[in-house]
Amino acid sequence: MTLETRKNEELDKVASKRSLGFSDDDSVEITIAPNGGACFGVVRAIKLGQQAASKGKSASAPVFSFGAIVHNPKTIRELEAQGVKTVEDQTQVTGGTVILRSHGVRQEIEKDFKTRGVQVVDATCPLVKKPQKIAASLGSKGYFLILVGDANHPEVKGVLSYFGTDQYLVTYKLEELENIPSHVTRVGIVAQTTIEVKVLNTIVEHCQKKFKEVAVYNTICDATSIRQEEAEVLAKQADVLVVVGGKNSSNTNKLVKICKQYQPNTYLIEEINELDLKWFKGMKKIGVTGGASTPQDYVDNVGARIAEILSVTC
């Protein structure tokens, strides 16, 4: 058997697997992070969306999603094909059923839908409801709120609507803490569920030195933490890493950021057809993971497609 024949046979055996590591030999491997892909909150939201679409079709009633039900464009297109219309303006919901996205909505918007008699399907992730409730409690007790996250993210806007006052700061940058008024002595810290753990810890440590009373609530969801930890482990071992998810997804972009710290050959894709042969030329250890808003079968399909590319072209 020639060396070339042996190489081709080895490539024919390449298949993606879910694992957190690679073998020590020189074989070509495709490893998918064990938890790469959708968390239970996203799975739940998609299921609720599909159920609402089915009921709406049966009743010949319109079904809307207020904002993207999850931050994955492919999933949104699939739901739209089933009859779910995504809207960003609440006045566009004129009747029928409205699905509240997994990231949650401002409480006044939900109240408006109910007041107008629109049937509400609440697909808000239960773990997003946690910071909403904590924010409401902190507001009622007179705390200054530090919400560690992205001010433009819908989850953050929803959480702030429960706080009830304008005594807050939304940030993920340490230097912006200097914008807090000097008279503030009591702060409550809540985190966007998809923020990086390291970012939250840095801000907490600084606040504990700066303020007299600091109430800390780590509301980062376990799904986010686990996926970030697994991504780091894979990135440290892989020759190239592919992250599958919506380019508008906060948690997915955090994974990309983490992976690039350890493996510059990290690529973010939404669709399988974005895979590029040149990424894998000469690479042995190929890692794949997916954001918490990416259905797991999307991630597995990417792994399978990479195996096909390697077996056909290498």
Q: Could you tell me the domains of the chain? A: 3-39+223-313 (3.40.1010.20), 41-125 (3.40.50.11270), 127-220 (3.40.1010.20)
> Residue 311: its pLDDT value, please?
79
The C-alpha atoms of residue 306 and residue 303 are separated, in whole angstroms, by 5
The C-alpha atoms of residue 250 and residue 227 are separated, in whole angstroms, by 13
Region of poorest pLDDT, from 5-14, 113-122, 239-248, 274-283 = 5-14
The active-site residue out of 29, 110, 155, 270 is 155
Q: pTM for the complete prediction?
A: 0.85
> Residue 223: its pLDDT value, please?
87
How long, in residues, is the chain? 314
The C-alpha atoms of residue 155 and residue 157 are separated, in whole angstroms, by 6
178 is catalytic: no
The C-alpha atoms of residue 32 and residue 37 are separated, in whole angstroms, by 10
**Could you say which DSSP state residue 279 is in?**
G
Banded model confidence at residue 38, pLDDT cuts 50, 70, 90 = very high
Banded model confidence at residue 1, pLDDT cuts 50, 70, 90 = very low
> Residue 209: its pLDDT value, please?
95
Rounded mean pLDDT, 258-287: 95
**Could you say which DSSP state residue 216 is in?**
E
Rounded mean pLDDT, 277-286: 94
pLDDT at residue 110 tops 60: yes
C-alpha torsion sign, points 197, 198, 200, 205:
positive
pLDDT at residue 16 tops 70: yes
Region of poorest pLDDT, from 1-5, 186-190, 294-298, 303-307 = 1-5
45 vs 2: which has the higher pLDDT: 45
